[in-house]
Structure formats: structure tokens, C-alpha cells
Chains A and B, each alone.
Chain A
Amino acid sequence: MPRVAAPRLMALAHVAALLPLAILIWQFARGELTADPIRELVIRTGDYALVLLVLSLACTPVSKLSGMPQVLRLRRLLGLYAFAYTALHLIVFVALDYGFDLDLIWKDVLAKRFALVGVASFLALLPLAIASVRGRMNQPGRMQQWLHRLTYLAALLAVGHFLLEVKVDRRIPLIYGAIVVLLLLFRLPWVTKGVREWRNSMSRKH
């Protein structure tokens, strides 16, 4: 297994997470975001948010399977970027798409299940994001554990939001859904135990 130094990995993650935003702003400024740029902004920020959230959730399993503990350090960083893109997604929707017309948003959010589920996903991410930014996550505790579990809920809600939004072709949201469920299964105690035993047996063989 190649050893990548943690700081280098972190730097790479920062670049990878910020690059899509830079490209998005560049294309927006140049008028290259389709004939409906606001919609494209909403779609792309939503996509990036979901990808980053899934990557963040994948850190623990990947770290355990690969035996690279430094991967675990990416979890908070990727999670915060996922939250940032989620917030951006929401801001573009509220500010650019609806022009802060709260009346209209209120009517629409109430009328549309996908919007409600999206808001629920954002709310599920919010407490952990706040706690993470404040650096409170170092002390272990039941509270922190629950906040982390909320991330899985947020991911499931985000997939639901995506599923309800697409018109007919449900393949892509379903793929995301399958990945999230797999990642969730991986965190079940007996699966974790199984993986640990498998790793131990592997290392004994070599």
C-alpha cells in the first residue's frame, strides 16, 4: 500500500474540492453555463455536495480497508466542503433562482417533496458542521457520535432529494443510494468486526 503523507493528502483534497467551484465561477462569468445558468449552478453545486458527502463517509471504510489511517483525517475536511457546497446550492436556489421571494419559496417548498427533503438534509448536516468549525469534535462523546450519525441521515436524505427531483431516469440517484447504503452497512458493528478479522488474517498470510 503506497504511503502518502497526511499533509500532502490534505492539500490534494483541498485542491480537488475547490477546483470544481473555481471552474464553475469561471464558466458562469464567461456565460458558459448553458442557456439556463442558474439551473446549471443549482445542479452542479448539488452534485458536488453529494459527491463530497459520499467521499467523506467513505473515509472510515477506506482507511480501515487500506490500512492508511491518514485517510481518516480527510473525513472532516471533505465533510465541511460537502456542507459548503450544500449551503451554496441552497443560496443559489434562494437568492438567484427565487430572488429571496420568501412567499414563493414557502409555497414551493411546501408543495414539493423534493425541496422539503433537501432542506431536511441540510438541517441534518448543520449541527455537525457548526461543531466541526468550532473544533469541538476532538473530545469524544455520545453527542459527537450522534452528530456523526446524522451525516448518514443527511446523505440518505440528499439521495432522496435527488431521486424526487429527477424526472424519469433514476439510475444516477439510485447508484448514489446504493453507495450510501453500502457505506452505512460497513459501519454496522458486526461488519466492522468481520473486516478487522479479515485484515488480520490477510496480514498473517503475508
Chain B
Amino acid sequence: MLPGIGSSAITPERLYVSRREFLIATGALAATTLFLGGCRQPGPTSGPGGTDFCQSAQASKPTDELGDSLTVCDSIINYNNFYEFSTEKEDVADLARDFKTSPWTVQVGGLVNKPKTFDLDDLRQRFPQEERIYRMRCVEAWSMVIPWLGFPLASLLKEVEPASKAKYVRFEALYDTKQLPGQRRGLFKWPYVEGLRLDEAMNDLTILATGIYGKPLPPQNGAPIRLVAPWKYGFKNIKSVVKIDLVEEIPVSLWMAASPDEYGFYANVSPSTGMPGRRRTSMPAWT
């Protein structure tokens, strides 16, 4: 049992499996009727920058621990929810092509004893990068199995020594209207902000990811550094982080501010609780 995560917060395997069974069944059905097959295997989408990056993609295993195949690299880097660039998932890779990720610093402060600003290269050297294969589940009812490279957030937080008053961790992403066209539109109150409870942030599962498939993160996936908390819905995993603050009050995330009825603070993946409204009870598995 992992500390801080009740077993009720994890999607039961049975739901995935039954989901898969009926996808296979309807796949067969569809193949014989209107659609000429091909719906069980979502094909890779060829898009901008896809081929070069993915040709040298590396992962230690072809599946996650449940035996679900990794999502193809092309899909991961060409289907991105990254509103700083565009609300169209397929346009992000192209728009993010020239995103500048070096130099990059992450300022860690707030209620800590040793606030510090880390250079990205410094972070990469100081904390050994390890592979974590996690399923990322989006509230839009799709998911991907992604081989991340990164390091536990806890290692970084221990270094700055959280003060006893600190209860939450607040993350802030880059605000740069020159580079991020989506921030020129008034749809949201930028920058993107997210948060975790301190114990969630200290959980070993929570990582700061700097790469996928054995390579540095491409811009569209949140380069150069992003949060990954695998038991949370995708939107919690803030991209292109520049600031991490330890705070006493619960942080108000961008989505909480934009749509409080639909997006809560915790957003744990769970079949029976959590997101009201736009949430499907189980998620399809793209493999």
C-alpha cells in the first residue's frame, strides 16, 4: 500500500479490462459493418517533428507493469493538450517547434529553509534520471502509457527543506506571451498554476519529468521540466515549470479558477468519485 493513496482512488483493473473487451468486440463489429477495420489499433499520427524524435526512442520495457503496451511515440508527441500554444491538440507540436528551453531555471521557495534557484542542467546532474512508466489519464477520457525520464520531486524538496508551516506545493509554469501564443488570448488567467498537498508531492510516485522515451522532453510535452503525478488526471501535471513554492493555503489552480464546478484541487483518478460533469467513468487504453 502506498502512503497517502487509498486503494479506492485507483481505477480497478477490471474496468480497464472490461473496457478493452468491448473495444475489441466493437472493433470486430465495426470491421464488418461501416468501418473497414482498424479501430482497435489507433495508428501513429505522423505530424511535425515526429519521425526524427521517435526514430531513436528508447524504453526499457514494451509495457507498463499491468502489461499494457506503451503508447506509440508519435502519438505522445503529436497529441498534446497544451493551451499555452493551442487548444487544438494536433497543432501544438508545430507551434512549439521553436520553444526556447535553454537557459531555464526553476525557482524553489516559499515556506522553505533554503530557497534556491536551480539551473536545469544543474537539476539533471544533481538528481539521477530514472525511467517511470505511467499511464496518463485525461479528463477527456483518453489515456496514454508513457515512459518518462525524471526524478522524484521529493529529492528536490528535501534539498530546500520545507518549513513546518508548509502544507501545499504550488507550481507555476512559464508566462511568456511572445513564445506562447495561447497566453495572448483571454481564455484563462495565465500563467498555468497547479498544486499538490505536501504529502502528495513527497510521495515517491511523484516526479519532475525531463524526458520521454529516453530523450529530453520535446517542447510540446512540457519541456524542459514538468510534473507527473500518475494518480492524478492529466491536467494536474503542469508543464514547463519555472517556479515551485511551498505554501500554507491550498493553491488555486488555473482550471479551478476557470471552471470550479468541473475541476477540483485533488482530481484523483477514480471511477466513482472526483470530477463531476465532463468525466467518463473508465478510460480507453490506447496501445
- 6 A-B pairs with CB atoms under 8 Å apart are A35-B79, A39-B142, A95-B29, A96-B39, A99-B19, A99-B26
Report if B107 contacts A (CB, 8 A): no
Choose, from A46-54, A103-111, A182-190, the stretch at the interface. Answer: A103-111
Q: Does A25 contact B (CB under 8 A)?
A: yes
Residues of B within 8 A of A39 (CB): 140-142
**Contact present for A30 and B280 (CB under 8 Å):** no
Select one of A32, A101, A107 contacting B43, CB under 8 A: A32
The answer to whether residues A36 and B142 also contact, given A25-B36, A95-B30, A107-B281 and a CB cut-off of 8 A, is yes
B38 touches A31 (CB 8 A): yes
Nearest Cβ in chain A — how far from B11, in angstroms? Answer: 13
Tell whether A169 pairs with B87 under 8 Å between CB atoms, given A35-B79, A99-B25. Answer: yes
Give the nearest-CB partner of A36 in chain B.
B142
- B258 contacts across to A, CB distance below 8 A: 168
Query: C-beta contact mask, B85-126 vs A, less than 8 Å → 1, else 0?
Result: 001011000000000000000000000000000000000000
User: Could you say which residues of chain A place their CB within 8 Å of the CB of B6?
Assistant: none
Q: What is the number of residues of chain A that contact chain B, defined by CB distance less than 8 Å?
A: 30
Give B contacts to A, CB under 8 Å: 18-19, 21-23, 25-26, 29-30, 34-39, 41-45, 71, 75-76, 78-79, 87, 89-90, 140-142, 144, 187-188, 258-259, 276-282, 284, 286
Q: Scoring A residues 97 to 121 as 1 if CB is less than 8 Å from chain B, else 0, what string do you get?
A: 1011100100110011110000000
**Which of A32, A34, A35 counts the most chain B CB atoms within 10 A?**
A35
User: Is A28 within 8 A of B277, CB to CB?
Assistant: no
Q: Is there contact, CB below 8 Å, between A99 and B87?
A: no
**Cα distance, A167 to B22, chains bound together (Å):** 28
B22 near A29 (CB under 8 angstroms)? no
Contact B75 A31 (CB under 8 A): no
Q: Is the CB of B45 within 8 A of A168?
A: no
Partner of B35, one of A28, A34, A167: A28
B-contact 0/1 string along A155-183, CB 8 Å cutoff:
00000000001011100000000000000
Task: Name which of A108, A167, A168 has the most chain B CB atoms within 10 A of its CB.
Answer: A167
Q: Tell me if B45 and A167 are in contact (CB < 8 A).
A: no
- With A28-B35, A168-B187 already in contact, the answer to whether A38 and B284 are too (CB < 8 A) is yes
Nearest-neighbour CB distance to chain A for B118, whole angstroms, equals: 32
Across-interface contacts of A97 in B (CB, < 8 A):
141, 284
Identify which of residues 5-49 in chain A touch chain B, using a CB-to-CB cut-off of 8 Å: 25, 28-39
Chain B residue numbers with a CB within 8 Å of A108 are 280-281
The chain A residue with its CB closest to the CB of B263 is: A167
How far apart sit A28 and B259, CA to CA, in the bound complex (Å)?
Answer: 33
**Other A-B pairs beyond A29-B38, A99-B22, A167-B87, 9, CB < 8 Å:** A25-B35, A29-B37, A31-B38, A32-B45, A37-B43, A101-B18, A111-B276, A168-B87, A168-B187
